Structure 1
């Protein structure tokens, strides 16, 4: 007796069963974006529910723990788990990354000079205005 049920085409079942894989760092970025938007400390359970695409709880805990270990999140005990909060907003995180790159270089002046020479006219004007405000002791860097 032969089985007359339709057989899936090669690759058809696998595509339907599994969501597309994220690229490196994409899940970390999604978690950070969620936490920035939430405005408060959030648990892995809350984060898992918000991501809403069948991620395992352990995956979310792992991502949040890694972000904590990288110094991007703080955490406080909440019952038997932790609630996490970003240490900086998006601009602060970008500035932190820029400082980390600069800190790895031996010739900081050359790196900064190269960076500034590649700025657009608008970005250069913005940088000059920021530096003037800081020199004058004004807030808002």
Structure 2
């Protein structure tokens, strides 16, 4: 899973805001509030994301309702996993990452790791 291009990221942001998915006209309307963008551009981007497996779709009358195949958090976690796997020495990558994150996030990470290491009851 790679990151998104600029338009793909914008479409995904809008689709993540629709818990039950959205049609292309709904996504276009939302995107129009931020920028002047052609309907066909939104349509092509949505179709590309669907083709890449990033969206599912269900027919509703004459339109399709699109939903993301991963939540924003799941997508971010996958990007982090890929970065760790492609950054050379994983220990060095993790060390640099932890040195640069906010202390509160560092504590949350430590707490999460501690709960994951607890033996099952």
The TM-score, its normalising length taken from structure 1, stands at 0.64
Matching of residue 136 in structure 1 with residue 118 in structure 2:
yes
CA distance in 2, matches of 1:129, 1:99: 19
Residue equivalent to 1:91: 73
Residue equivalent to 2:22: 42
User: Going by fraction, where is helix more abundant, 1 or 2?
Assistant: 2
Report 1 or 2 for greater relative contact order, CA contacts < 8 Å, sequence distance ≥ 6: 2
SS of residue in 2 equivalent to 1:42? coil
Candidates 99, 102, 112, aligned match of 1:120: 102
SS of residue in 2 equivalent to 1:38? coil
| Larger Rg over CA atoms | 1
The TM-score, its normalising length taken from structure 2, stands at 0.72
Greater displacement, 129-138 / 95-104: 129-138
CA distance in 1, matches of 2:61, 2:83: 38
Instruction: Give unpaired runs (5+ residues) of structure 2.
Output: none
Report the CA distance between 1:127 and its aligned residue. 0.4
Report the CA distance between 1:72 and its aligned residue. 3.1
Aligned CA-pair RMSD: 2.6
Report the CA distance between 1:32 and its aligned residue. 1.8
Report the CA distance between 1:137 and its aligned residue. 7.0
Instruction: Give unpaired runs (5+ residues) of structure 1.
Output: 1-23
Aligned length: 114
Task: Please give the residue correspondences for 1:7-26 in structure 2 after superposition, counting only pairs within 5 Å.
Answer: 25=6
Residue equivalent to 1:66: 48
